[in-house]
């Protein structure tokens, strides 16, 4: 390690230590703990009525995003293009990248609707392998009519069953479980079992691959049974 590099890292450490000290001195730890305790909770869409306030807020957020001008990065299409142009697949950045992406999308929804407690509902495609019915309602902003999977058609259990998921979750080597190690987020190494089996097959089943990763309302919901943009 060069002296210059060492000095830069030492400065970064001192800056971090100073910032942490300021947080502790002003009671910041308590604020952080409160924020964690009161954070929004993502709900299973299967347990939500079509007119549930969570889905109503989600409809309002989508409508607001679609109404934004093209030069606004919060615009619906621009958000989808972040995934299309920048997403991490085939490497171990898959999970952290998509978690951060969903978090910031969720914050946009909160900001545009004024609902700070809004959390994107999730689709558990192991327990409920068909795309939720709410995303097929005629005239509903949640319904993307370009999706290819007929209403009520389940995803093949060979890819999303409990036994399949349990086998994947038993993997203790993250470079296998979470896809291969790379130096940068858009390099492709190997597709781990989580990505190659449930993730990719749910994508392909619910929409024409890879169109669903571009501009539709669908792709956000199938990342790891996490949260839904399904339409």
Which H or E run contains 108?
Answer: helix 94-113
Beta bridge partners of 130: 154
Q: Write b or e for each residue in 71-96: b if 16 or more Cβ atoms lie within 10 A of its Cβ, otherwise e.
A: eeebbbebbbeebeeebbbbbbbbbe
pLDDT computed for residue 90 by the predictor: 92
**pLDDT tens digits along 133-168:** 999 999 999 998 888 889 999 999 999 999 999 999
Q: Does 1 fall in a domain?
A: yes
Residues 2 and 112 in one domain: no
Judge whether 56 lies within some domain: yes
* Token representation of residue 54: 């969570």
228 is a domain residue: no
The answer to whether residues 176 and 193 touch, using CB atoms and an 8 Å cutoff, is: yes
Q: Indicate whether 88 and 32 sit together in one domain.
A: no
Q: Say if 30 falls within a structural domain.
A: yes
Reply yes or no on whether the pLDDT at 9 is more than 60. Answer: no
Q: Kindly state whether residues 52 and 19 are assigned to the same domain.
A: no
229 part of a folded domain: no
| 46 and 3 belong to one structural domain | no
- The DSSP H or E segment spanning 79 is helix 76-86
Judgement on whether residues 169 and 98 belong to the same structural domain of the protein: yes
Asked, as a colleague might, if the bond just before 77 is cis with ω within 30 of 0, I would say no
Displacement of CA 147 from its chain's centroid (Å): 19
Residues 14 and 70 in one domain: no
Does any domain span residue 18?
yes
* Res 7: pLDDT: 46
pLDDT tens digits for 53-95? Answer: 999 999 999 999 999 999 999 999 999 898 888 889 999 999 9
**Opening angle at CA 15, ends 14 and 21, nearest 5:** 85
Do 57 and 145 lie in one domain? The reply is yes
- CA within 13 Å, CB half, 5: 2
Q: What is the mean pLDDT of the chain?
A: 81
The model's confidence at residue 8, banded by pLDDT at 50, 70 and 90, is very low
What does the pLDDT look like over 20-51, one tens digit per residue? Answer: 666 666 666 787 788 778 889 999 999 999 99
My answer on whether 208 and 119 are in the same domain is yes
Residue 141 sits in the same domain as residue 98: yes
- The two tokens of residue 29 are 């730890």
pLDDT of residue 137: 93
Tell me, yes or no, whether 69 and 51 share the same domain. yes
Angstrom distance (rounded) from CA 70 to CA 129: 35
28-42, 92-106, 173-187, 189-203: the lowest-pLDDT one: 28-42
Tell me if 231 is assigned to some domain: no
Q: Is 146 within a domain? A: yes
Q: How many domains does the chain have?
A: 2
Does residue 169 sit in the same domain as residue 115? Answer: yes
Domain extent for 131 = 42-222
Q: What is the reported pLDDT for 36? A: 79
Q: Which residues have C-beta within 8 Å of that of residue 193, sequence separation ≥ 6?
A: 167, 168, 171, 176, 177
Say yes or no: 73 and 31 in one domain: no
Confidence of residue 18 (pLDDT cuts 50, 70, 90): low
Q: What is the CATH number of the domain that holds 185?
A: 1.10.1280.10
């Amino acid at each position: 390690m060069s002296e210059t590099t060492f000095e830069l890292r030492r400065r970064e450490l001192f800056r971090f230590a100073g910032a942490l000290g300021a947080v502790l001195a002003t009671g910041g730890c308590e604020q952080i703990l409160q924020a964690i305790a009161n954070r929004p909770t993502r709900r299973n869409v299967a347990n939500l009525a079509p007119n549930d306030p969570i889905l109503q807020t989600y409809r309002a957020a989508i409508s607001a995003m679609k109404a934004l001008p093209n030069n606004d990065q919060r615009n619906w299409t621009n958000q989808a293009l972040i995934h299309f142009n920048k997403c991490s697949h085939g490497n171990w950045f898959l999970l952290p990248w998509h978690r951060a992406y969903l978090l910031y999308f969720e914050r946009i929804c909160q900001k545009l609707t004024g609902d700070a407690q809004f959390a994107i509902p999730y689709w558990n495609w192991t327990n409920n392998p068909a795309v939720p019915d709410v995303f097929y309602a005629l005239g509903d902003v949640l319904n993307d009519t370009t999706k290819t999977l007929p209403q009520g058609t389940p995803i093949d259990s060979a890819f999303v069953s409990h036994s399949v998921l349990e086998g994947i979750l038993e993997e203790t080597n993250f470079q296998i479980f979470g896809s291969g190690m790379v130096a940068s987020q858009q390099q492709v190494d190997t597709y781990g079992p989580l990505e190659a089996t449930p993730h990719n097959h749910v994508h392909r089943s619910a929409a024409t691959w890879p169109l669903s990763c571009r501009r539709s309302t669908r792709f956000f919901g199938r990342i790891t049974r996490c949260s839904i943009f399904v339409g």
